[in-house]
Structure 1
């Protein structure tokens, strides 16, 4: 199991849990007409600053600097230029911070601090909000009052204009986790007066709490199985398949639990489904669709449903503007956004190849499979193969180090993606010949 993933996800969950009373307090205060809009922005911003200091310590400055810089860019740059400048500056800053992690792990060979890992995770989420906001401004969905550098204005006017943007970039329910919330939805929620009824809110939070409890119980049982068995370095032939699958399931349960907790925190603060949704805007999208992820027989569908809000953000940011190789560019950017560790580069490029193969395989199969028994058998086999390929990719991404990646590639588990690679080559040649 990857040391870094489990290293910071548990502390993040503790900090997210500690933020629940403040999220419920904000939701309650929004009912009161005496709680003005500026006070709401300040409440969310102050909560974000306090949570950043508690979770990240002195590393919180690495998140505060790009957030403030983005607010300056929005004020100084026009709608056409703000996205380019925001994207370049944010990704450059995040890459420098990831290089610091590389230096600690690979050069100094030291274990990175928990606070620094939490900071990097928060920076990645900040990149989503920065680029989402800048795209909204460029596309005219959000109107930003930009000023020239030489234009004079009082400090109070600058602060009042920048407050909604800084509050959005640092608001505490989404600082450490959670699905991407658009600026329009955020602004509509802060400026609105609606809130969930106590009965509905309690029922929704209770549901999520029971889901988290069930996932944590499964994690405890599976964790004992994983620790008791052999690892990839000690497994023998077919036993390596069980090791890979069980370890990947443990990782998935960890992510599912964290995503549901993050979703519950946003829901408690009033940023869940049903608030701030306009007809022209895509609705609220939770990160975890566990039923689809565990039952689908298509890698392409798994890819769209895994961390759904991030998948939608990547599609909007990269895929729709990708040009010749949009799929490859999207996964390459995802590897960059995650930190460009060796396992991540290999895993995401392998994932892109598997998605391409998936489209060709299922398109070709749909032309030949007619009877329902064969269709049922086909779905069962492709489901098992999909789950094993996803497990392979997940271990590659989480392995991070070259030694762990080599153990995975040198095991019999490499057969599963190799089968899809061969089928992709054969079906691709057949498609070219047919065309």
Structure 2
């Protein structure tokens, strides 16, 4: 794959690369103490608006509206209710943008709508997480608080993390989306559960914190919109649960070195095939295509994992 192909797969990459010098300048000025807190906000706000306008054109309005709405909500609503309002605003706007843009006949060569949707989804994660932190801080202060393609996926994460680190926003240890160690884990793991924990960490943490820990009844239904997404997330959950029980059972039979290599190699292939199956399902936009996928021979392996889960349901699971 040549560089031109990568730019087609990553339409936002040139804009990220162009922002690197400005991110380095921002970090340098902050490190020298030349920028006050207000000046830093102005720098980031101006740079963000310029980057959004350059990368998205008129579609940048779709990003600026929920951003401004979230700020106004945080300023006008009490901490106890801020996270509810911000979450409702972000998810409602995200849904409207998805449905609105998908109903229009857009130029397939125009990457700006796709960039805008990606930015809106990232904004939803950041804004709702900030609102939840705001709520948690308010509760604690009052004494009431309680605790496609791959190479493409990888480069998205690497560029984003590199840009943030150049700007001085270094994530805490183990909190980044991707690292060299994570790339190796994703490509070599034979465990579905390990893959699920490693792949796209920021989204996994966001879903766990905003959805699964706060929605005790059928949380998976709150994360999806299209039939493919519902099916894909449900299949992913079943595969992970099966993984927790299959591997402790198989590892007891893998005594010799040769059997261990066969066991790890076979389960690695199974993991890669199941992940590919889930990704195809999630990207499916129509129910008829999803039915074709479900009735194809590609479903044999996921079905086998599901049946194995039923057979080993009483076995203790190993995280």
Task: Give the TM-score normalised by the residue count of structure 2.
Answer: 0.85
Conserved 8 A contact 1:343-1:399:
yes
Matches within 5 A, 1:95-174: 95-104=95-104, 111=108, 113-140=110-137
Residue 193 of structure 2 corresponds to which residue in structure 1?
300
- Aligned equivalents of 1:286, 1:315: Cα separation in 2: 15
**Structure 2 vs 1, CA of residues 353 and 110 (structure 1 numbering), >3 Å: closer, same or farther?**
farther
**Structure 2 vs 1, CA of residues 130 and 252 (structure 1 numbering), >3 Å: closer, same or farther?**
same
- Aligned equivalents of 1:346, 1:370: Cα separation in 2: 33
Residue 38 of structure 1 corresponds to which residue in structure 2?
38
Q: How big is the shift at 1:407? A: 4.8
Residue 165 of structure 2 corresponds to which residue in structure 1?
267
Q: Alignment partner of 1:11: what SS? A: coil
- Aligned equivalents of 1:23, 1:285: Cα separation in 2: 18
Task: Give the TM-score normalised by the residue count of structure 1.
Answer: 0.63
Q: How big is the shift at 1:295? A: 1.1
Conserved 8 A contact 1:91-1:127:
yes
- Aligned equivalents of 1:299, 1:70: Cα separation in 2: 36
- Aligned equivalents of 2:12, 2:226: Cα separation in 1: 22
Which consecutive unaligned segments of at least 5 residues does structure 2 have?
1-5, 142-147
Q: Alignment partner of 1:139: what SS? A: helix
- Aligned equivalents of 2:168, 2:243: Cα separation in 1: 38
- Aligned equivalents of 1:285, 1:141: Cα separation in 2: 27
Residue 85 of structure 1 corresponds to which residue in structure 2?
85
Matches within 5 A, 1:30-429: 30-104=30-104, 111=108, 113-140=110-137, 251-273=149-171, 284-287=175-178, 289-323=182-216, 325=218, 329-330=219-220, 332-334=221-223, 336=224, 340-366=225-251, 368-369=252-253, 371-373=255-257, 374-402=259-287, 404-428=289-313
Cα deviation, 1:219-272, whole Å, max 9, x if unaligned, reads xxxxxxxxxxxxxxxxxxxxxxxxxxxxxxx61111112211111111111112
Conserved 8 A contact 1:361-1:424:
yes
Cα deviation, 1:63-94, whole Å, max 9, x if unaligned, reads 11111111111111111111111111111111
- Aligned equivalents of 1:355, 1:285: Cα separation in 2: 22
Give the total of aligned pairs.
Answer: 302
Q: How big is the shift at 1:9? A: 4.6
Q: How big is the shift at 1:416? A: 1.3
